[in-house]
Structure 1
Amino acid sequence: MAGGSKRGTDERRQAVLRAIVADYISSHGPVGSKALLERHDLNVSSATIRNDMAVLESEGYITQQHASSGRIPTQKGYRAFVDTLQQVKPLSVAEKRAISTFLAGGVDLEDVLRRSVTLLAQITRQAAVIQVPTLEVSRVKHCEVVALSSTRILLVLITDTGRVDQRNVDLAHPIDDDQVVQLRQMLNNALQSKTLSDASVSLAQLAQTAPPDMVNVVVAAATTLIETLVEQPSDRLIMAGTSNLTRVAGSLSATLPGIIEALEEQVVVLKLMADLPAIGNVAVRIGEENEDEELRSASIVTTAYGGYDVPLGGLGVVGPTYMDYPETMSKVSAVARYVGKILSGT
């Protein structure tokens, strides 16, 4: 009986904490017991609410800035609030349609990613970041061969992440239309559906099986493609909405220059993107949970995006610790889902 009573008390205090967090996120002002009773159906007396608030304060979940003011959540309080969220709340049909329509208008991979991060910054009103897919997880979708002249061809390499690379190849001997078709077939047989590292190995072996009259052109094409495949560009991030942080008062104002500097350095954010949850899950780091000192007054919400459950990169937002967690997590998750759909063609 006593255990049931304690459980009931704990659940009530969790409800009080959730109400305080929700009201503070909404108003950005201290929350008093009277306001809680007016706005929330807690079914207890004001004395009980005041007692619960005193216990929550003693346990470090809320704090009081002044003796006569209401309470505000601490970072520990936000963490408890986020941990009690059972699931990411769904977006409305209109919000889903708007996201889908905007992202579907992208003309290539980079355009889709730029649209995604711009949209995420707009709908969350925070700083947003997205990671350009790494080459390690890309697979070759197709290699097109175009004859520009009898001694020059254009190679167009397309990956399943939407990356397109073009290279001109000058040939020592003329090539005819039949040989162009033959070269295209040989290259695609060696490359198609392979990871870029495996594709490089296949290309290196291709000259050994080429017909005698095709050896020179195969070597020239394979050498050019290997150079393209093994060029590992540094990890890149696309950012948007940093100016949104300048409009945030309170917890960020004193540390804002350090936060913006950390974001611009990118290496800090890349470390965050190296520790992403599985596709479909959302990670939340609150204040002191962030390794980098510059970000310890901010909260960061991240997730992975990709196709067929294969992560291609990460995206997320940086904002104040009093951000609307349910809404932000929902929007980060939704944008990641639509980016994955576009990249996988589903």
Structure 2
Amino acid sequence: MSHTQDRRLAVLCAIVEDYVSTREPVGSKAVTERHHLGVSPATVRNDMAILEEAGLLVQPHTSAGRIPTDAGYRAFVDSLDEIKPLSAPERAAFQKTLMEAVDLDDVIARAARLLSHLTNQVAVLQYPSLRQSNLRHIELVALRPRLFMLVLITNTGRVEQRTVKSADEIGEDDLHLISAALNSCLTGVPISRLRARRDLVAEKLEFRLRAAAGEFTDTIVEVLEAESEERVVVSGTGNLSRYDVDFSASISPVLDALEEQIVLLKLMAFREKGVSVRIGSENSSTELSETSLVTAGYSNGADGEVARVGVIGPTRMNYPAAMSGVLAISQYLTEILQSHR
């Protein structure tokens, strides 16, 4: 990139930063005074005119100020060399809050609130998909002679509990045998393939235990298939009220879209390595055409990405802060899932 191109990119970045901060069109005088680019206002005005011709800036009215277009924001985001890490106090606060969570639901809720608070945007956090999960452990606990607690733990940290009534009384030794057969045949197997392994469980047991084992296997399959629906948690929708002026009509269509799980799941279905940023018209949903979406995937280590976390806000967004927060949360969620493998 030439010196002139470098300078014009610096002018664009300065305008993006100032407009995000002030929501006022940015003029050449402000750029030279605030950012010390080492050139005259006349040179900056010329650069601004060229950036406008390229579709990266627009002049909203007759004033000399310019504001970024979606393409301008894209060029700004693409110019970022690295994502700034959180400060040491921020990292400590994140880690402490998330590590105090009692279960996966609590982790997801806490992470969404943290991300919303950190970025002042709407946080969107996808649950680890059971469709992409494996069973990690099955526990059977006797409550009464014919009543049992079935505890299922997946490799993504999901814990499901159900009570199971058996037609037969099952002693402690037999319960251990059934539990061992279930764990041997069903753990480490994708949930979509559990039903096909029912007969394998029976084959590992004496005939007298097969009916009871079948009851437990059927319950496991039913529970996990019923709970496999994708879910998304949203936190901080109130943050949108502070950006009401950033939308041409109102924030109502955005709020309506955030209430639709299908819309959110489509947004989060986009897969890209690292932190992904989609700006304005790059979003597939027309209701969100004046918003930007910043997302990153998180994983349990061995099985790759299991879900995504992100923020939604107006295109006039502090992209470096949003990208930093999203990346931090995705990394902490990955650490937590790995620790529960």
Instruction: Describe how 1:295-310 pairs up with structure 2 within 5 A.
Output: 295-308=288-301, 310=304
Q: Distance in 1 between matches of 2:70 and 2:207?
A: 70
Structure 2 residue runs of 5 or longer lacking an equivalent are none
Q: Say which is worse superposed, 56-65 or 312-321, in terms of deviation.
A: 56-65
> Following superposition of structure 1 onto structure 2, how do residues 183-202 of structure 1 map, counting pairs within 5 Å?
183-202=178-197
| Counterparts of 2:211 and 2:286, CA distance in 1 | 57
More deviation in 188-197 or 129-138? Answer: 188-197
Select which of 202, 208, 212 maps to 2:207.
Answer: 212
Pairing partner for 2:306 from 299, 309, 312: 312
Output the CA distance in 1 between the equivalents of 2:245 and 2:78: 24
- 1:260 and 1:173 map into 2 onto residues whose CA distance is 52
CA contact (8 A) 1:276 1:302 kept: no
Deviation for aligned residue 1:220:
2.0
Per-residue Cα deviation, 1:29-76 (whole angstroms, up to 9, x for no partner):
111111111111311122211111111112221122232331111111
Counterpart secondary structure, 1:334: helix
Is residue 284–residue 300 contact of structure 1 (8 Å, CA) maintained in 2? Answer: yes
Q: Which amino acid aligns with 1:293?
A: T
AA partner of residue 39 (structure 1): R
Aligned mate of 1:91, from 83, 86, 102: 86
Q: Give 1:343's aligned residue.
A: 337
TM-fit CA distance, 1:182? 1.4
Contact 2:131 2:228 survives alignment (8 Å):
no
Q: CA deviation at 1:253?
A: 5.8
Amino acid in structure 2 at the alignment position of 1:301: V
Percent identity between matched residues is 44
> Aligned partner of 1:340: which letter?
T
Output the CA distance in 2 between the equivalents of 1:246 and 1:291.
Answer: 23
Structure 1 residue 124 and structure 2 residue 93: aligned? no
Give the stretch that moved more between structures: 49-58 or 60-69.
Answer: 60-69
Q: Residues 97-125 of structure 1: CA distance to partner in whole angstroms, max 9, x if unpaired?
A: 11111111111111100111111111111
1:61 touches 1:76 (CA, 8 Å); kept in 2? yes
Equivalents in 1 of 2:240, 2:92: separation in Å? 27
1:287 is matched with which residue: 280, 283, 289? 280
Native 8 Å contact 1:63 1:72 kept in 2: yes
Residue 319 of structure 2 aligns with which residue? Answer: 325
Contact 2:267 2:284 (8 Å CA) reproduced:
no
Shift of 1:231: 2.4
Distance 2:308 2:199 in 1: 32
Matching residue's letter, 1:320: P
Seen in structure 2, the aligned counterparts of structure 1 residues 195 and 233 have a Cα distance that, compared at 3 Å, is closer
- For structure 1, list consecutive stretches of 5 or more residues without a partner in the other structure: 1-5
- Of 4, 12, 37, 2:7 maps to 12
Amino acid at match of 1:290: N
User: Distance between the aligned counterparts of 1:182 and 1:195, measured in 2?
Assistant: 23
Superposed structure 1 runs of 4+ greater than 3 Å apart: none
SS of match in other structure, 2:2:
helix
1:155 positional shift: 1.4
Partner of 1:3 in structure 2? none
| CA displacement 1:83-108 (0-9 Å, x = unmatched) | 11122111111111111111111111
TM alignment of 1:230-249, pairs within 5 A: 230-249=225-244
Cα RMSD of the aligned pairs, angstroms, is 1.7
Indicate which of 110, 130, 143 corresponds to 2:138.
143
State the TM-score, normalized to the length of structure 1. Answer: 0.93
SS at match of 2:243: coil
Q: Which amino acid aligns with 1:322?
A: R
Match of residue 273, structure 1, among 268, 271, 279: 268
State the TM-score, normalizing by the size of structure 2.
0.94
Q: Which amino acid aligns with 1:300?
A: L
Partner amino acid, structure 2, of 1:259: V
Number of aligned residues: 339
* Residue identity opposite 1:277 in structure 2: E
